[in-house]
């Protein structure tokens, strides 16, 4: 592969100063295509596989300094929000740009509590899935189906539609998530109890039974609320970029978020929280030989990666992973979790962080590394972990979709390609091939 053209340095202003964006020079196509000719006809095309170096939008929502391990929502450092601001406050902050006053928060909460019910016909929808359906595709399908129930929620350019679809989605996703769980364990659905807040209601609908009292454990609710805060936004990650890309065609909020949920499902993104626990259990089953597992990772054995490690943006410790790690002990002690598996995770981290392979590549634990251990202690099956991520990430998806829709400079997302296929050739009829 030879470089055939160079592209100029461009830069964007951001709160941390000038952010230089190095564009990747386009390369010659595998079939010998002259990329410079493509450029002559289409203008500048810079090949950037995986968008490693390409900013797709401007945004005022979330700031990350990956080298320093800094994350801020609307300017507030994540460690100042986690454990101090509730998930509902952070949701309001991300979507509306400012922390709510007590009155604003009460009105927001009240509004959400009025929209937690699912239409009875939508409830029937869950019965169409097989008993052992993974709850993630059930979640995305049900969110997509919301478009069929609410005609007054579908116009991205009518502020009333945007507002009501925002409220419906925030209020209903916990109900949908709880029903996806109930379906997978063959238990009856519970109606929401709107005397409860969002997290408490979700826990009751998930773990409670109809006509039986369910006492929400305040420690459990507080821990889950804090984890949701840690997941609430992360600028242009794969699922959020998907939400924006789908929304850039003027698809409605439900359709866009449904696509985002599917992007989150992948094991390289949100699905990693499930894979981490499966990896830890596999190491444990294998006699707990961490050294042997790490050697397989370093040998790049197909399909073997240190799940929950590495990040496109963080080249330092993920600040969220640091918070989860710090609190994991306390939470597991309170909830009676598996400390052996936590010890294994800690040892694995220690071994990796003192190994040149991981040090040179700047691979640190990401947000998915320790969260599953806490979810497990809370009683969630492994297949629900990514659903919990989706519940936490929802405010970010909504805030980013709304920012995109409100931005007059937004254009339909449509990347170019560098064509590497056959050059023009003459059609050969089937009898002559
Ligand atoms: C919420 C989230 O989405 S956080 C991410 C969750 N995903 C995971 O935890 C899955 C494991 N991690 C990964 O697969 C990757 O680190 C990603 C997908 C997160 C980031 O990928 P990229 O930014 O494209 O990094 P890339 O794949 O180029 O990795 C750079 C190098 O580090 C290696 N590497 C990256 N992550 C890992 C890992 N988890 N284990 C072993 N090696 C790794 C790569 O093999 C590559 O090595 P090389 O230079 O010898 O080829
Ligand atoms: O930002 C990313 O690439 C992945 C992500 O969503 C996160 O870390 O929360």
pLDDT in tens, 64-97: 999 999 999 999 999 999 999 999 999 999 999 9
Q: Is the ipTM of this complex over 0.85?
A: yes
Q: Would you kindly state where each structural domain of the chain is located, as residue ranges? A: 11-55, 84-221+235-265+383-406, 271-378
pLDDT in tens, 359-414: 999 999 999 999 999 999 999 999 999 999 999 999 999 999 999 999 999 999 99
pLDDT of 225 strictly over 50: yes
pLDDT in tens, 19-72: 444 444 444 433 344 545 544 445 568 899 999 999 999 999 999 999 999 999
Average pLDDT (236-247) is: 98
Hey, which bits of 82-216 come out as E strands? none
Work out the number of other CB atoms within 10 angstroms of the CB of residue 371.
27
Q: What residue owns the CA closest to ligand 2's atom 7?
A: 234
Banded pLDDT at 15 (limits 50, 70, 90): very low
CATH level 2 (architecture), domain 84-221+235-265+383-406 = Orthogonal Bundle (1.10)
The best mutation among 234, 314, 318, 366 to test binding of ligand 2, ranked by most ligand atoms within 8 Å of the C-beta, falls on 234
DSSP 214: -
Q: What is the pLDDT, as a whole number, of residue 22? A: 40
Is residue 311 part of the annotated active site? The answer reads: yes
Spatial neighbors of 272 by CB under 8 A, at least 6 apart, are 307, 308, 366, 368
Q: What is the pLDDT, as a whole number, of residue 119? A: 97
CATH number of 271-378: 1.10.230.10
CA 266 to chain centre: 10
Task: Give the C-alpha distances (Å, rounded to integers) separating 254 from 95, 203, 345, 404.
Answer: 16, 23, 37, 15
Is any ligand 1 atom within 6 A of the Cβ of residue 390? no
Which ligand has the nearest atom to the CA of 237? 2
Instruction: Please identify which of the residues 134, 225, 311, 318 carries the catalytic annotation.
Output: 311
Is residue 368 part of the annotated active site? The answer reads: yes
- Spatial distance between the Cα atoms of 267 and 307, rounded to a whole number of angstroms: 8
User: pTM score, two decimals?
Assistant: 0.92
Region of poorest pLDDT, from 236-245, 248-257, 329-338: 329-338
Q: What residue owns the CA closest to ligand 1's atom 6?
A: 269
Is any ligand 1 atom within 6 A of the Cβ of residue 269? yes
């Amino acid at each position: 592969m030879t470089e055939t053209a160079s592209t100029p340095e461009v830069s964007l202003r951001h709160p941390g100063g000038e952010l230089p964006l190095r564009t990747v020079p386009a390369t010659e196509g595998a079939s010998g295509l002259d990329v410079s000719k493509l450029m002559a006809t289409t203008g500048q095309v810079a090949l950037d596989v995986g968008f490693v170096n390409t900013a797709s939008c401007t945004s005022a929502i979330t700031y990350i300094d990956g080298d320093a391990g800094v994350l801020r929502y609307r300017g507030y450092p994540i460690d100042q929000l986690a454990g101090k601001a509730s998930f509902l406050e952070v949701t309001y902050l991300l979507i509306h740009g400012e922390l709510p006053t007590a009155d604003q928060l009460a009105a927001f909460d009240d509004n959400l509590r009025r929209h937690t019910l699912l239409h009875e016909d939508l409830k029937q929808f869950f019965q169409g899935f097989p008993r052992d359906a993974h709850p993630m595709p059930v979640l995305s399908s049900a969110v997509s189906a919301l478009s069929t129930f609410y005609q007054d929620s579908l116009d991205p350019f009518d502020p009333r539609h945007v507002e009501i679809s925002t409220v419906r989605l925030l209020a209903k996703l916990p109900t949908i998530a709880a029903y996806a769980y109930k379906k997978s364990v063959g238990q009856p659905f519970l109606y929401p109890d709107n005397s409860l807040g969002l997290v408490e209601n979700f826990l009751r609908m998930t773990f409670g039974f109809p006509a039986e009292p369910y006492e929400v454990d305040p420690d459990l609710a507080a821990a889950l609320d804090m984890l949701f805060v840690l997941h609430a936004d992360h600028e242009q990650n794969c699922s959020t970029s998907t939400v924006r890309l789908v929304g850039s065609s003027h698809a409605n909020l439900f359709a866009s978020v449904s696509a985002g949920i599917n992007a989150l499902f992948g094991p390289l993104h949100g699905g990693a929280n499930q894979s981490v626990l499966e990896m830890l259990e596999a190491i444990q089953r294998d006699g707990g030989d961490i050294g042997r597992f790490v050697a397989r990772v370093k040998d790049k054995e197909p399909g073997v990666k240190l799940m929950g490690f590495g990040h496109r943006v963080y080249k330092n410790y993920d600040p969220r992973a640091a918070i989860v790690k710090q609190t994991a002990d306390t939470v597991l002690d309170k909830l009676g979790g598996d400390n052996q598996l936590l010890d294994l995770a800690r040892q694995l981290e220690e071994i990796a962080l003192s190994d040149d392979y991981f040090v040179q590549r700047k691979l640190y634990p990401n947000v998915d590394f320790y969260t599953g251990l806490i979810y497990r202690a809370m009683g969630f099956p492994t297949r629900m972990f990514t659903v919990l991520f989706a519940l936490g990430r929802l405010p970010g998806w909504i805030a980013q979709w709304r920012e995109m829709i409100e931005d007059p400079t937004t254009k339909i997302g449509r990347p170019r390609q560098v064509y590497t296929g056959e050059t023009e050739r003459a059609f050969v009829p089937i009898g002559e091939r």
